[in-house]
Amino acid sequence: MKKITRRTVLRASGLAAASLALSGCTPAGSACVGNGFSDWLKQTFGKDSAASSESAGAAAPDAGTPDAGAASEPPAESADTSLPAYNADPLTGEPRRSNGRMVGVMVNNISNTQRQNARPQRGIGSADLLIESKVEGGISRFCAVYYDANAIPEVGPLRSGRDQFLQLLMPWQALYYHDGESAPCTKFINVYNYSGLNIGGKSYFNTPTHPHVAHRDSRGRNVAYEHTEFTSGAEIRKAAANAGIGLQYPYESTFFRFADYRTGAENKMSGAAAAKTINIVHSDSYKTTFSYNRWDHLYKMSMYSRAAGAFENTVDELTGKQLGFTNLLVCFAGIADYPGNSGGALINEYGQVVGINSLKISDSSYELMGFSIPISSAKEIIDDLIAYGRVPNRPKLGISYFSNTSNQQYNMIVQIKGLPAGSLIIADINEDSDLANSSAQVGDLITAVNGKELSTSEVLLEAIENAKVGDTLTLTLCRISSNYQTKEFNVKVKLVEDTGNTTSSSSQQQQEQTTQQDNRSFYYNPFN
């Protein structure tokens, strides 16, 4: 049978930005791998689907008949009036089981040593959609998605949230349950106002409103504490009730563009390659393999264990059975191949320039993150550069500075003296700066602007951005003597126009007194 049906697994790797697979207990199923995925994906998810990708692939043979084809037209558009109303389950495409809200639970997948080992996981075999994605440090993580909180068994070990998973779940208004989250995940939650459906973010649990509703179980093993947390449907329902979250939702579409369960029609995917074995490499220590079993028509899942130094069957601890999936989709994009992607155009699916890439973080200790300037902002700058060779009327202080945390001694003084955490070290003063004619010196700390303490460096940047050339700011400076004494004083400084001139006013004598910090910071060090 060649239809997308029943429970689904969505997976991503280092090369793969996302990989999707559909899983369940129906007697047969399929997926596809190959070129031309963009058109297939539109057909699979629908033209207006919330989930999309420009570069992806998947794989699937049928029982001895490895062929596949394009998705059919929406089943709801069937002209057969004798059929009952189409009312498919949003995650499986089969007849709807309830009007429950989707729930995504983050699950640990670490397998480094015997003590640092989260496997085997519990409850993931019951998920309608299982998502695996590479996160930071070359490891991967799971998100088990269930059609209804009432269908969730004990599941875990519970782990912190990541933006990759959240972006897939947000359009479906799914409850996202985890313990802790990454900084990019927090950003997405704040930007898209998703906090009401996000249970388990930073400083979320153990408050009067949001008590911690999960439990610990070491499973009789010598295992690290972070691998011992589990939750369940009952606990998640309690958490939702505490947060005032409704667990009913009237979904009007399905996660995938499923075959019509009423007719037994098939979503054929012609031209796609067949695969009996699919290998996904996240890193040297995190690899996943799917092997197609023609007898039960399932993709059987195995994962490499660094602790064991070999591949092991992926088993649900609750059932003791190896995970098998009726459909498998692998979506990928070689973003790790382009670590220096700054300054290039950011293109949408229609070929339109929507931004300018400004930064790509490729360090393995971070998630694959990138930042772009919106084209609306970039165009104004581009127009000014063409007309004037620079951006006119842009104000500046005319100094260079570093965070106090870049110097151990400065940071110590900030903490001991109770100075604002965002205090900045003046590293250089330009000749055209109004500060060049003041009592300010290289090495002074900026602790406040216009009476507002620098809780972060953003306080100073916002003050400058909200002012005009010629406006006057009052800086509170702190001077540190060689015996660690501090003296605070105010300096008024007029903002000058940023013309691109960065000529320093530091004397040769001052230059000789500078000290390199972290191989990047040069400034006068009062402690020498």
pLDDT computed for residue 450 by the predictor: 95
Domain 395-524 has CATH 2.30.42.10: yes
Q: Which of 42-56, 367-381, 503-517 has the highest mean pLDDT?
A: 367-381
Mean pLDDT of 211-221: 85
Query: When comparing pLDDT for 71 and 227, which is higher?
Result: 227
pLDDT score for 174: 92
Residue 205 binned pLDDT confidence (cut-offs 50, 70, 90): low
Q: Point out which residues pair with 361 in neighbouring strands.
A: 369
Collapse the DSSP code of 303 into the 3-class scheme (helix H, G, I; strand E, B; otherwise coil) and give the result: strand
Report whether 427 contacts 400 (CB < 8 A). yes
Identify the residue with better confidence: 140 or 7.
140
Please give the pLDDT value at position 2.
Answer: 33
Region 201-217 average pLDDT = 70
Mean pLDDT of 55-73: 33
**DSSP-assigned letters across all residues of 340-376:** T--SSEEE-TTS-EEEEEEEEE--TTS-SEEEEEEHH
Rounded to whole angstroms, how far apart are CA atoms 240 and 204? 13
Structure confidence at residue 373 (pLDDT): 80
Secondary structure of 382-442 in HEC code, one letter for each residue:
HHHHHHHCCCCCCEECCEEEEEHHHCHHHHHHHHHHCCCCCCEEEEEEECCCHHHHCCCCC
- The 10s digit of each residue's pLDDT in 463-479 is 998 899 999 999 999 99
pLDDT per position as a tens digit, 252-278: 888 888 888 888 777 766 666 677 888
Nearest alpha-carbon partner for 31 in 331, 326, 333: 326
Rounded to whole angstroms, the Cα distance separating 206 from 213 reads: 9
Q: What is the mean pLDDT of residues 93-98?
A: 89
Mean pLDDT over 110-120 rounds to: 88
The C-alpha atoms of residue 506 and residue 160 are separated, in whole angstroms, by 48
Residues linked to residue 445 through DSSP beta bridges, in sequence order: 425, 478
What is the chain's mean pLDDT, rounded? 75
Mean per-residue pLDDT for 177-197?
A: 85
Work out the pLDDT band at 302, boundaries 50, 70, 90: very high
Which of 2-6, 295-299, 363-367, 476-480 has the weakest average pLDDT?
Answer: 2-6
- C-alpha 266: how far from chain center: 34
Tokens of 124: 């993931």
222 token code pair: 């010598």
Which of the following CATH numbers is that of domain 339-388: 2.70.70.10, 1.10.3720.10, 2.40.10.10, 1.20.120.420?
2.40.10.10
- Within 8 A by CB and 6+ apart from 256, the residues are 4, 8, 20, 22, 44, 45, 93
DSSP 128-147: SEEEEEE-GGG-EEEEEEES
Instruction: Write down the domain spans for the chain.
Output: 1-77+87-337, 339-388, 395-524
Q: Which residue has the higher pLDDT, 382 or 35?
A: 382
At residue 290, the pLDDT reads 92
Q: For residues 368 and 277, give the distance between their C-alpha atoms in angstroms, rounded to a whole number.
A: 27
- Assess whether pLDDT exceeds 80 at residue 368: no
pLDDT digits (tens, 9 = 90+) for 335-364: 554 455 556 777 776 778 888 877 665 554
- 227 vs 348, residue with greater confidence: 227
Q: Which two tokens stand for residue 433?
A: 């700066």
Mean pLDDT of all residues in 85-113:
90
Q: Does pLDDT of 503 surpass 80?
A: no
Query: What pLDDT, on a 0 to 100 scale, did the predictor assign at position 282?
Result: 86
Q: What is the DSSP string of 169-221?
A: HGGGT-EEE-S-B-HHHHHHHHHTT-GGGEES-TTTSSSSSS----EE--TTS
118 neighbors 34 (Cβ within 8 angstroms)? no
Q: What percent of the chain has pLDDT over 90?
A: 24
What average pLDDT does the segment 53-67 reach? Answer: 32
Query: How high is the pLDDT of residue 349?
Result: 64
Position 189 scores a pLDDT of: 86
Mean pLDDT of 294-316: 89
What b/e string do you get for 495-507 counting C-beta neighbours within 10 Å, with b at 16 or more? bbbbeeeeebbbe
Contact 327, 31 (CB under 8 A): yes
**Which residues are registered as beta bridge partners of 453?**
448
pTM: 0.55
pLDDT score of 362 = 53
Q: What pLDDT is recorded for position 203?
A: 57
Provide the pLDDT confidence category of residue 77 given band limits of 50, 70 and 90: low
Question: Which pLDDT score, from 0 to 100, does residue 356 have?
Answer: 81
Least confident range of 42-46, 148-152, 179-183: 42-46
Measured CA to CA, the distance from residue 363 to residue 366 in angstroms comes to: 6
pLDDT, greater one: 135 or 492: 492
Fold (topology level) of 1-77+87-337:
YerB-like fold (3.50.90)
pLDDT tens digit sequence for 405-456: 877 788 888 888 899 989 999 988 888 899 988 999 888 999 999 999 998 8
Query: For residue 62, is pLDDT > 50?
Result: no
Would you state the structure tokens that stand for residue 53, as one six-digit string? 């990708």
Q: What is the pLDDT of residue 351?
A: 73
Question: Which of 90, 20, 67 minimizes the C-alpha distance to 266?
Answer: 67
- What's the CA gap between 329 and 168, in Å, rounded? 15
Q: Is the pLDDT of residue 504 over 60?
A: no
pLDDT score recorded for residue 333: 57
- Looking up tokens 């010629």, which residue turns up? 470
